[in-house]
């Protein structure tokens, strides 16, 4: 039986996956702002580092897996917290916990992203770049919509950035090379307290209910948790750097023709350069 850390373990999808892991006989270290083994407000860097230390203490320096589910929805006026929790609350924890994941030899990590990554139009690339460069202030300046801050833009920018971070790092020596499988799950609208709060605002409810979901209705937190358990299992050994959409078909509805996309011939030199650089690094570091 393994030891897993689950952020966002007090509610919704994080809670559902923690319950499933415990029911299967695993140990779970829950991290949340309330009702958790490690109570931490992941919106500050200091609390993130303290939370990681507390998790490392509790797991004895070895973790078989992690689920990063703590996050906020696109709540108006909370852009700063959205950026801090949804992006840095994932990345800072994962960087601090990576050595413990590596020690397990075959650890699996699931980052909860969102289908807002591909169904939200006009998310500024500058905001995504700023997050990946570790600059939250610049990201917040960039996520303006007609001159005003926009929570849906901030939210989608954090989820795009965190998905890219997963894909960039998953394939490296430090992650894939250390036996860690790092992947993301991108849910659509799932019935959790986060979605209920959005639906309690009539304007937001109207927009959410008008949104095309080919299979209809909302996702179920338990079903999403089942996907996470699968992504933490041995069956996911060959899954690396993937972003799995479980969204009732909205992503496919909007992007059926744009993904998978062939590589434009102009990008081939970039592929070749990356491959050669990696080969050189492999030779140098063994």
- Considering the complex, state which of residue 208 and residue 239 has its C-beta at the smaller distance from ligand NAD: 208
Q: Residue 43 and residue 51: Cα distance in Å, rounded?
A: 11
Return the number of the residue (104 or 113) whose C-beta is nearest ligand NAD. Answer: 113
Q: Does residue 12 belong to the site contacting ligand NAD (CB under 6 A)?
A: yes
Four-point Cα dihedral 148, 154, 156, 159, nearest 10: 170
How far is Cα 86 from Cα 114, in angstroms, rounded to an integer? 11
In angstroms, the CA 177 to CA 170 distance is 9
Residue 114 interacts with ligand NAD (CB under 6 A)? yes
DSSP state letter for 264: P
Binding segment toward ligand NAD, per CB under 6 A, in 10-18, 92-100, 164-172, 271-279: 10-18
Least gap, CB of 158 to ligand NAD (angstroms): 8
- Binders of ligand NAD in range 14-53 (CB under 6 A): 14, 32-34, 40-43
Helix (H, G, I), strand (E, B) or coil at 278: helix
Q: Is the peptide bond before 40 cis (omega within 30 degrees of 0)?
A: no
Residues 84-103 that bind ligand NAD (CB under 6 A): 85-86
| Nearest CB to ligand NAD, comparing residues 107 and 194 | 194
Smallest distance from ligand NAD to CB 187, Å: 4
Can you tell me the distance from the alpha carbon of 238 to that of 224, in angstroms, rounded to the nearest whole number?
20
13 binds ligand NAD (CB under 6 A): yes
Residue 136 found at the interface with ligand NAD (CB under 6 A):
no
Interacting residue with ligand NAD among 67, 101, 112, 225 (CB under 6 A): 112
Nearer to ligand NAD, 170 or 243 (CB): 243
Helices (H) and strands (E) in the chain, counts: 13, 11
Please provide the size of the chain in residues: 286
Identity of the residue, 90 or 170, whose beta carbon is nearer to ligand NAD in the bound complex: 90
Minimum Å gap between C-beta 221 and ligand NAD is 6
Active site amino acids: 155
Rounded to an integer, what distance in angstroms lies between the CA atom of residue 49 and that of residue 71?
17
Query: Per DSSP, which regions of 128-242 are E strands?
Result: 144-145, 148-149, 181-187, 190-191, 219-220
Q: Which residues bind ligand NAD (CB under 6 A)?
A: 8, 10-14, 32-34, 40-43, 69-73, 85-86, 112, 114, 187, 189-190, 192-195
């Amino acid at each position: 039986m393994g030891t897993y850390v689950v952020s966002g373990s007090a509610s919704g999808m994080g809670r559902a996956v923690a319950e499933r892991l415990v029911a299967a006989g695993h140990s779970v270290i829950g991290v949340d702002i309330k009702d958790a083994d490690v109570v931490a407000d992941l919106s500050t860097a200091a609390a993130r580092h303290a939370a990681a230390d507390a998790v490392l203490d509790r797991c004895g320096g070895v973790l078989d897996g992690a689920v990063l589910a703590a996050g906020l929805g696109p709540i108006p006026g909370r852009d700063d917290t959205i950026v801090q929790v949804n992006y840095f609350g994932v990345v800072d924890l994962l960087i601090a916990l990576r050595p413990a994941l590596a020690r397990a030899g075959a650890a699996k990590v699931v980052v909860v992203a969102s289908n807002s990554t591909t169904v939200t139009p006009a998310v500024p690339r500058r905001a995504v770049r700023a997050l990946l460069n570790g600059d939250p202030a610049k990201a917040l300046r960039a996520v303006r919509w007609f001159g005003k801050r926009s929570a849906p833009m901030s939210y989608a920018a954090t989820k795009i950035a965190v998905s890219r971070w997963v894909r960039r790092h998953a394939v490296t020596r430090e992650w894939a090379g250390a036996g860690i499988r790092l992947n993301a799950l991108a849910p659509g609208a799932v019935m959790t307290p986060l979605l209920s709060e959005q639906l309690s605002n009539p304007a937001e409810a109207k927009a959410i209910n008008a949104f095309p979901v080919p299979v209809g209705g909302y996702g179920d937190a338990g079903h999403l948790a089942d996907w996470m358990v699968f992504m933490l299992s041995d069956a996911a050994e060959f899954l690396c750097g993937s972003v799995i959409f479980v969204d009732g078909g909205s992503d496919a509805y909007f992007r059926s023709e744009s993904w998978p996309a062939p590589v434009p011939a102009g990008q081939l030199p970039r592929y070749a350069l990356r491959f050669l650089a990696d080969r050189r690094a492999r030779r140098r570091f063994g």
